[in-house]
Amino acid sequence: MKALSTDGQQKVNAIADRYSLQSETVEALLKAIVRGNGTMAQFNVRELGGAGQWMKGGMTMVGDMFNSALKTRVDQLCNELAGLVSTSVLFEDSEEPERRETSGSWPTIFGNPTSSGSQNNFRYAYFAPVRRLVIEDGGKRTIYDTKHYHITGVSQQQGSTSSYRFTSQEGQVDLSALQIVSDPDSPRQPTPEIAYDVTSNADLRSEDKSPQDIIMGTIEKLNILFEKGQISEEEFRAKKKELLDRL
């Protein structure tokens, strides 16, 4: 994601002041909306209740599901930011350095990190859409399948890589609980494939997720297909409407 322009930063700061939020919170939500083409967002921001989802003209879900005031606040904020995205140039025009494939970049095939961090010779990046956690420790890169965990941070301890514990919606996650899908000796790793007709594959009967969660997750998959050019905008809109009609 490009850096905010001076004008964009001023707008973000003004909105943050109005909503009594940190500027970083508003910027994170803004970037999530940009990734969702101004119509949806998946985010994980502590000040907004953790993991949440928003869809323009549809639904808003927050981690604190019984906090109706927070839900309304997030919905209002997302709608305002979506309007801002469609009417203002908020980011610098310079080329995005993180999208160049260099030794210091993350795999561009995964898109932009949902969360990331670094300290000394250790750094990590979590990519929610493809369920991947990329870790570089002492210059060695390892890629993990995060399964159902949504990584939000890391507790860095002294010792080997296995001593690092990551935080998620279910508490701490030890790296030993995750499957390695790539390591320095085997650089090629499978990326989760998305079936083309994801709308017909969306089973709304689940013990773990609500129909709303499944619909939002499926629309996010559609958005990934659209961004990769695998479906047209017309197909994206038609399948999105098909999913919304099932609610």
Give the residue carrying structure tokens 């700061």.
13
Is the same domain home to 39 and 70?
A: yes
From 101, 102, 49, 99, select the one nearest 74 (Cα to Cα).
49
Last residue of a domain, one of 135, 158, 182: 182
pTM to 2 decimal places = 0.42
Which carries the bigger pLDDT value, residue 22 or residue 101? 22
| Helix or strand holding residue 243 (H, E) | helix 233-244
pLDDT given at position 194: 41
Measured between alpha carbons, how far is residue 42 from residues 30, 39, 108, 136, 217 in Å? Answer: 11, 11, 19, 25, 9
Is the same domain home to 125 and 177?
A: yes
Q: Using 50, 70 and 90 to split pLDDT, how confident is the model at 132? A: confident
Structurally, the chain folds into a number of domains equal to 3
Query: Percent of the chain having pLDDT more than 70?
Result: 72
The tokens describing 133, both together, are: 């956690």
Last residue of a domain, one of 22, 52, 87: 87
157, pLDDT greater than 60 = no
Q: Using 50, 70 and 90 to split pLDDT, how confident is the model at 20? A: very high
229, pLDDT greater than 90 = no
> Which SS3 state, helix, strand or coil, does residue 226 take?
helix
Q: What are phi and psi of 118, to 5 degrees?
A: -155, 155
Tell me the mean pLDDT in the region 152-156. 70
Is the same domain home to 231 and 158?
A: no
Residue 80 within a domain: yes
Is the same domain home to 236 and 207?
A: yes
Give the residue carrying structure tokens 């508003």.
26
pLDDT in tens, 38-76: 788 888 888 998 888 888 877 788 887 788 899 999 999
pLDDT in tens, 159-203: 444 467 788 877 888 888 888 876 554 544 444 444 444 445 455
Which carries the bigger pLDDT value, residue 228 or residue 68? 68
Residue 237 within a domain: yes
- Please state, in angstroms and rounded to a whole number, the distance separating the CA atoms of residues 242 and 247: 10
The tokens describing 55, both together, are: 């869809």
- Structural domain range at position 228: 198-244
pLDDT given at position 17: 95
Our CA dihedral for 192, 193, 198, 201, rounded to 10 degrees, sits at: -80
Other residues' Cβ atoms within 10 Å of the Cβ of residue 19: 17
pLDDT given at position 1: 52
Which carries the bigger pLDDT value, residue 4 or residue 76? 76
Give the residue carrying structure tokens 């979506």.
82
145, pLDDT greater than 50 = yes
pLDDT in tens, 63-110: 877 888 999 999 999 999 988 877 777 776 544 443 333 435 676 666
Residue 32 within a domain: yes
Query: Percent of the chain having pLDDT more than 90?
Result: 14
Residue 153 within a domain: yes
pLDDT given at position 202: 53
